[in-house]
Structure 1
Amino acid sequence: MGGKYRITGDAYPRMRRPRNRRRLVLAGIGAVAALGLAGWGTLQLIDVFTTGGDKGAAAADHKRDCPTAKPSAAPAKALPKPASIKVNVYNATTRSGLAKDAAAELKKRGFTIGEVGNASKEYDKKVPGTGVLLGAPAAKNGNFTVLGAQLTGAVEKTDTRKTAEVDLILGTKFKAFTTPQQATAAVAALTKPAPAPSPSC
């Protein structure tokens, strides 16, 4: 320079980066972050739809493999008709004529009536409830059920008889039979088919 310009002192001018370069760097970082977020969101959506499709296919396969419950139900055991049940009516109370009246009502309801009279010493004045149904063990399979629907609270007992007839021993709490509608509804509920079990899959 020929000595025209001299640098004196110990202070030197600082070299600063242009401000526009800093802005470019920040803008680049922001763009990269935005692209990263967008890509991550896209992957999440793809995963959701793909997984949902797999689950839907699995559910469809499961439904296809699992047998459908049939609307038909398992048939209930048929109960005997009142006409096929022979009933002996005995009075174990102090009320006179009770067995006769009860037998007449049961006859109206279709039952076959056998003996009518006072209870034996084993049961006379010894039945605190509404009554006792006494018969062979086979009577539990139907005769007790149909006859028991005519009165509430009767106790079922079996003996060694071989015949199918049933003894109805009326107790001190007996007031009246259930209404025919109630008895019919009770028997119908017992003969309604049981629902078929649902598939366990």
Structure 2
Amino acid sequence: MGGKYRITGNRYPRMRKPRRRGRLVFLAAASVAVLGVIGWGTWQLIDVFTGGSKASAASSDCSTKASPTASPSPANAARALPKPGQITVNVLNATPRSGLAKQTADELKKRGFRIGQVGNASEAFDKKVKGAGLLLGPASSLNTSLPVLATQLAGAESRTDTRKGTDVDLIIGTGFKALTRPAAADEALTALTAPQPEATTPKSGC
């Protein structure tokens, strides 16, 4: 060829296709991904056969969450309740049956209670107590004297009023038949003053 495009020398230029850099980048990325998958699979196998870091973490977590030994709580101690001899009971009859207040008062006296007034109930309660009886006392007796007296008459209702002093009333209702049998009453009183069982903490999966 002559003129402007004359070829000189004894070599001819070689015509090659340009390299595709995109293919090289793809191959490199694929290689990295394959190596990553192989490495992850190897790590999982090691974790399965050795227990891995999860077991260590669980063990550490259990050790850090171990609760200390609980100190004795006042709620678990025996309840400090008054003894029958420290409780003065007024026995009042709210039924049409005569002599019932005296009979009940005599039986309570045999069981160690101090007896105060014995007679008929006031108009506010006369023939208006439908159950076995009503135990009535000051607010301070709600968790002291009244629970002790309640062991002697199953099914009796307990209430408080605004009275002064520590005396409590046993108002006999129309549903009254007899006081609780002495053996059962003593058993109920023992259970009332016994220490409360301590709540147990559920075991964890550790």
TM-score tier after normalising by the smaller chain length? 0.5 to 0.7
Superposed displacement of residue 181, structure 1: 2.3
Partner of 1:68: 69
Superposed displacement of residue 91, structure 1: 1.2
Gaps of 5+ in 2: 1-41
Q: Decide whether aligned partners of structure 1 residues 130 and 41 sit closer, same or farther in structure 2, where only a CA change above 3 A counts.
A: closer
Q: Distance in 2 between matches of 1:160 and 1:62?
A: 50
Q: Decide whether aligned partners of structure 1 residues 54 and 133 sit closer, same or farther in structure 2, where only a CA change above 3 A counts.
A: closer
Does residue 125 of the first structure (1) align with residue 131 of the second (2)?
no
The partner residue of 1:171 within 170, 173, 176 is 173
Q: Distance in 1 between matches of 2:85 and 2:139?
A: 20
* Amino acid corresponding to residue 141 of structure 1 in structure 2: N
Partner of 2:23: none
Superposed displacement of residue 160, structure 1: 2.9
Superposed displacement of residue 179, structure 1: 1.5
Q: Decide whether aligned partners of structure 1 residues 102 and 47 sit closer, same or farther in structure 2, where only a CA change above 3 A counts.
A: same
Alpha carbons 2:105, 2:118 under 8 Å: kept: yes
Gaps of 5+ in 1: 1-38
Alpha carbons 2:91, 2:104 under 8 Å: kept: yes
Partner of 1:43: 46
SS at match of 2:142: helix
SS at match of 1:141: coil
Superposed displacement of residue 96, structure 1: 1.7
Question: Which stretch of structure 1 is more off in the superposition, 40-49 or 123-132?
Answer: 40-49
Equivalences, count: 163
* Amino acid corresponding to residue 111 of structure 2 in structure 1: R
The partner residue of 2:55 within 49, 52, 57 is 52
Does residue 115 of the first structure (1) align with residue 98 of the second (2)?
no
The partner residue of 2:152 within 150, 153, 171 is 150
Q: Distance in 1 between matches of 2:110 and 2:56?
A: 67
Q: Distance in 2 between matches of 1:40 and 1:83?
A: 77
Superposed displacement of residue 46, structure 1: 3.8
1:111-155, CA deviations, whole angstroms, 9 ceiling, x for partnerless residues? 001121222222222211111112222221311111111112222
Partner of 2:95: 93
Q: Decide whether aligned partners of structure 1 residues 133 and 42 sit closer, same or farther in structure 2, where only a CA change above 3 A counts.
A: closer
Partner of 1:21: none
The partner residue of 1:78 within 77, 80, 83 is 80
Q: Distance in 2 between matches of 1:89 and 1:137?
A: 19
Identical columns (%): 50
Q: Distance in 1 between matches of 2:52 and 2:139?
A: 66
Task: Output the aligned Cα RMSD.
Answer: 3.0
